[in-house]
Structure 1
């Protein structure tokens, strides 16, 4: 098992990273690897990679697979010594026998029933150095080189550059790795990457330039008894980051895919809910993490408003002979890529990934909050009380919805989202089916409030545009005429929440 952070290095910062790395004792090694899979990609589909790599004069056979956490991977290396390349046409699977990852490898290949073939290759110069920090022994590895693949097999060669820094925990506490990783990322403007060299090789070989956005999944509590506050915090944060990190990684690399931006915003909303609602369960969650998340969320929202909301508003008015209108460029709004690469945001991602990866058996590191960890019963009691209060507050909001201004209605929408996300977090503990029935009745109110918010946002953007283009007044008038009707429907949908089953009152699942 290896535990590591992987960072991508921006153009122009490589020299600074290498200069600092060389301030200690370093070792430079050329690594030339050949990767193998079945013709149908059975290993890649299982999240595994198998390679033969020449490291200097020695050969090493390695198999890797996803581990049990955000930072962990299963790995087994077989040192083959100074063998001849001609003797290493294909990996010998028996070299990994009696290891967890080796057993998984055999199961996948036996199920596939196919022979191994060479798929792609890498040629990397690695500069390594060991650093001792906060009781941890960490290896820093600067990798610069390329990935080479034929796409399609037998076709032209495709080449992708590699320029990344990996920090791997060799010994000692995880906190030392987290702190050291954050320092290097801050000093050199690095950003977290979730795409391994093997995954990049697969994309290169298949000619994939865009991957689907990652959507949210429920926390995985397993079949063990209900977790205490600290364990629940870690598992929920891990579930949030499983959506946030892959989408953020793609956007940081330059993706402008609307769905990835949308799913990252959802992931950040869920993450903010987790930080706010689960903070009292155990120490270790820093309230200061919210500000960088909010900044990035806001920048992504500005992008979404100008693209999706305005496109939707034009669809609403397509039968009303609305005049053509081009909005002026947004001022002082960072691009999605710049917002995700923001050093403050990246520092929070590193800290949260470290928090989620902590061993539940280890004592908690000191945090900004001095509260003690709640036991399992107290944790569930706290969550039930929070669900009850958010539900009751939503019903009070429904009764006065017609008298509220747009800003107050927006706060109601955000509170309703917190209620939804908190319900989704605890669903595996309190019963998935019972929670699903509640969420089914919550959804119409959320959809109605979302439509109203989109209309308010579109109107605000058109009001800004009207300062330069009088055609915008048509859209302003059209939206102003429909907002009261939309608000009435939203209030009505919110009041129906009174009939939703209060799933938090029942017994704990199991």
Structure 2
């Protein structure tokens, strides 16, 4: 039995045809010229992944695999960590398949597996042809592997659901993790790859009918014993994981929620930078936040047209006002949305976005920004959080004073932004406080944001209606303008109704005692 070890790995995905060509290209040949085509060797790996039907192991962050590697039979149990690039792995070579599962040597893991031993079933399988070679780069030894094959998951009735599997993996054998990140940047400059944190098991399970390709962002579980710096590192890693997991939903499946959630995670990263800005001397995270802002802006048109076509226009069509003109407006809006989505997909598929995700994962894993930080980041997060929350709240109240009495709805926009900036630290640090204390405050904040959001959505809808009308087909310009005017009229009325709720709701919110100040 091997002792548990920390596996450090970066993974990439891409079209199977493109990845199949990699072992024979000049770049790979230059890296591993010692043997064979491209310097590497091929082998077939067949793996079965076990868990209970209700996912008892997955619920504890564990995966269990039985793999045939040539003549060897290997059991592997892996545990997720807070770092997207590292996992704790226990590997054991077996004499017979009937010996499976065997003890790992970790008491907690072995107790869990033993408790569910009779319920373990093969829920997923993968068969891949792997080309692999060990390369030396900047003093490190790295296994460069290309996996091509299939992944299948079994549903509750034992039916298999299969799809292709194409990955490139970089696993650190010896040396420093920084070398792997540096090599990854070189790799993506020479191959059409997307950064990925999705495991083979997760790829297989995504084939099941009803599987949600967007899913929910994993919660950042805070421990009161953590330092503020540890929370930042964990949050950066979580952003990298979430953004990488959304690429398929956005690029391959064109899910509207995919582009929305990608913008959410990019905004969350920018919020993290704001929370910690005064304590960081390095510009690493500030640079990541600036790049995130650019990417989010590029995704904006796709999201705005999705909302316009998914919510605004259907409501207008139900009113049965000038339906032909509204349908013409819809046709133009669809074309605008297609343009927005083409831009969004190009952004996510770009080498610049892949490098951004590599750099984001590196920031969470290597934590070089901690080499020169101010003292508060080394203190417990329980000391850091209330001060950060107080700063955000003070900024919100200052903004409220600046826009107080404004009649123009657009003039209140800075307060909407200030409330969003308050919401992110509130969400980040909420688990440090009892639910019963934080829930009323967070509910009030959410209601305020909803009211401001309704006003903003109405303003955006009016702008888009005008844009669609001006870009409409010849011969229907007047009708399109009337349709746009109708939309603008009723959306303006919605905005006024939403605005009526804001003043009273904000006044009540101001009087609440923030949950982090309660004793």
Pairwise same-fold verdict (TM > 0.5): yes
Deviations 1:461-509 (A, max 9, x none): 11012222233222123334444443343344334332122344456xx
Matches within 5 A, 1:144-155: 144-148=148-152
Matched, 1:125 2:123: no
Q: Distance in 2 between matches of 1:69 and 1:272?
A: 19
In the superposition, relative to structure 1, how do residues 137 and 400 fare at CA in structure 2: closer, same or farther (>3 Å)? farther
The alignment partner of 2:227 has SS state of coil
State whether residues 34 and 118 of structure 1, in contact with CA within 8 Å, keep that contact through their aligned partners in structure 2. no
Matched, 1:338 2:370: no
The alignment partner of 1:77 has SS state of strand
Q: Distance in 2 between matches of 1:499 and 1:454?
A: 27
In the superposition, relative to structure 1, how do residues 323 and 493 fare at CA in structure 2: closer, same or farther (>3 Å)? farther
Paired position in structure 1 for 2:9:
4
State whether residues 146 and 166 of structure 2, in contact with CA within 8 Å, keep that contact through their aligned partners in structure 1. yes
Deviations 1:107-136 (A, max 9, x none): 14524642x444554332212233344444
Over aligned residue pairs, what C-alpha RMSD do you find? 3.3
The alignment partner of 2:68 has SS state of strand
Matched, 1:311 2:313: no
Q: Distance in 1 between matches of 2:122 and 2:239?
A: 36
The alignment partner of 2:223 has SS state of coil
In the superposition, relative to structure 1, how do residues 11 and 401 fare at CA in structure 2: closer, same or farther (>3 Å)? farther
Q: Distance in 1 between matches of 2:290 and 2:433?
A: 31
Paired position in structure 1 for 2:184:
181
Q: Distance in 2 between matches of 1:216 and 1:123?
A: 28
Query: Which of 15, 20, 30 is the aligned partner of 1:23?
Result: 30
Paired position in structure 2 for 1:437:
440
Q: TM-score, normalised by structure 1?
A: 0.82
The alignment partner of 1:466 has SS state of helix
Shift, 1:164, TM fit: 0.9
Shift, 1:434, TM fit: 3.6
Matched, 1:97 2:109: no
Paired position in structure 2 for 1:361:
none
State whether residues 147 and 162 of structure 1, in contact with CA within 8 Å, keep that contact through their aligned partners in structure 2. yes
Paired position in structure 1 for 2:322:
323
The alignment partner of 1:267 has SS state of helix
Instruction: Work out the number of aligned pairs and report it.
Output: 483
The alignment partner of 2:463 has SS state of helix
Paired position in structure 2 for 1:163:
166
Unmatched segments (≥5 aa) in structure 1? 359-363
Shift, 1:353, TM fit: 1.8
Deviations 1:261-284 (A, max 9, x none): 333322222221012221222345
Q: Distance in 2 between matches of 1:394 and 1:434?
A: 26
Shift, 1:227, TM fit: 1.4
State whether residues 246 and 262 of structure 2, in contact with CA within 8 Å, keep that contact through their aligned partners in structure 1. yes
Q: Distance in 2 between matches of 1:260 and 1:45?
A: 24
Shift, 1:380, TM fit: 4.7
Shift, 1:442, TM fit: 1.6
In the superposition, relative to structure 1, how do residues 61 and 465 fare at CA in structure 2: closer, same or farther (>3 Å)? same
Matches within 5 A, 1:220-235: 220-224=221-225, 227-228=227-228, 230-235=229-234
The alignment partner of 2:340 has SS state of coil
Query: Which of 270, 275, 278 is the aligned partner of 2:276?
Result: 278
Q: Distance in 1 between matches of 2:99 and 2:345?
A: 39
Query: Which of 214, 217, 220 is the aligned partner of 2:216?
Result: 214
Task: Using the TM superposition, name which of 338-347 and 482-491 deviates more.
Answer: 482-491
Matches within 5 A, 1:106-505: 106-111=111-116, 113-114=118-119, 116-148=120-152, 158-204=161-207, 206-207=208-209, 210-211=212-213, 213-215=215-217, 217=219, 219-224=220-225, 227-228=227-228, 230-241=229-240, 243-252=242-251, 254-284=252-282, 285-314=284-313, 316-317=315-316, 320-324=319-323, 325=326, 326-328=330-332, 329-330=335-336, 332-335=339-342, 336-358=344-366, 365=368, 371-374=373-376, 375-376=378-379, 379-380=384-385, 382-403=387-408, 406=410, 408-429=411-432, 432-467=435-470, 468=472, 469-470=480-481, 471-505=483-517
Q: TM-score, normalised by structure 2?
A: 0.81
Matched, 1:78 2:77: no
